[in-house]
Amino acid sequence: MIRLSTSGFQRIEQGSCLNLNVGGSELNVAVVAARLGLTTKYVTRLTRNALGRLIEDRVREHGVDTSEIIWTDSARVGAYFLEFGAAPRANSVIYDRENSAIALIQPNEVDWAPILEGAKLFHTSGITPALSASAAETTRAAIRSAQDLGIKVSLDLNYRARLWSREQARNVMEELTSTVNILITTEEDTKLVFGIEAESYEAVAQALADRFDLEVVAITLRDTPSVWRNRWTAIAFAGGEIHHTHTYEIEVVDRVGSGDSFAGGFLYGLLRKDVAAALEYGVAVSALKQTSPGDLCWATLDEVERLLGSRSLRIVR
């Protein structure tokens, strides 16, 4: 989708011009995975006009295969408006996604078997099924096809209260979560959608794994002393074991897409190494993402591994 944001901490009502960026949960994940070195394919539905081509161009720029994009002449590209805040005012979003090209997708428009052939993993999020009943059914069909082919499936819960209610989310996401292998979420989303609370984040992760028979659960954790100074880390539960990693002190430039960047880095580490490495890569690449503007991550594998190796803030010469 297209992101339109104000500059200089202006409220949307104040703005006279808007900055244009490209983003979207699964798109953001695909970009990180590709930039780190995975062969990545992006499936979506876009409008055959300049905005649709703009999105495809941005995705291709990062090395993601766009050959399976479904093009339509009869719907518009979705958009959202972003207003950056400063304490005590939080960032704020207005969505304009109803009846967009992806919201109107139909299950019979996608032949998943040839698309998924040779894949090791399929990733989706709770944002896509929130857009419409047909988008939810298409997501179900994709997950079923991947499972039928023996392909691992990862799901980012990604609850968005401005897209659907808790009850609607629970009805759909409980079903979808029970059919995937890997869940990526936050403690807050877990509570809001599934009603799961515990005395620790580790206990929440184990409760999710037990309830939905998941192989891996990853939970991102953010501490926000202020809007623009955050502490960022994550935990993962797999095989009865809890994994922890480094906590980064971040001077936030733009936190939108940070959870998606974590997912991309986490899946890279999981496919190339193991859960412990996945956690390291996920947190590091998402920390770097938050230091540059826009939804998409511009970090490189060398940059991520240099951060993992030194965590130094000395100038790179």
- Chain segment 243-274, per-residue pLDDT in tens: 999 999 999 999 999 999 999 999 999 999 99
Catalytic residue numbers?
260
User: Which regions in the chain score pLDDT beneath 70?
Assistant: 311-317
Task: Output the pTM of the full model.
Answer: 0.95
- Chain segment 62-96, per-residue pLDDT in tens: 999 999 999 999 999 999 999 999 989 989 999 99
Assess if CATH 3.40.50.720 describes domain 2-310. Answer: no
- Chain segment 131-147, per-residue pLDDT in tens: 999 999 999 999 999 99
Neighbours of 42 (CB within 10 A): 23
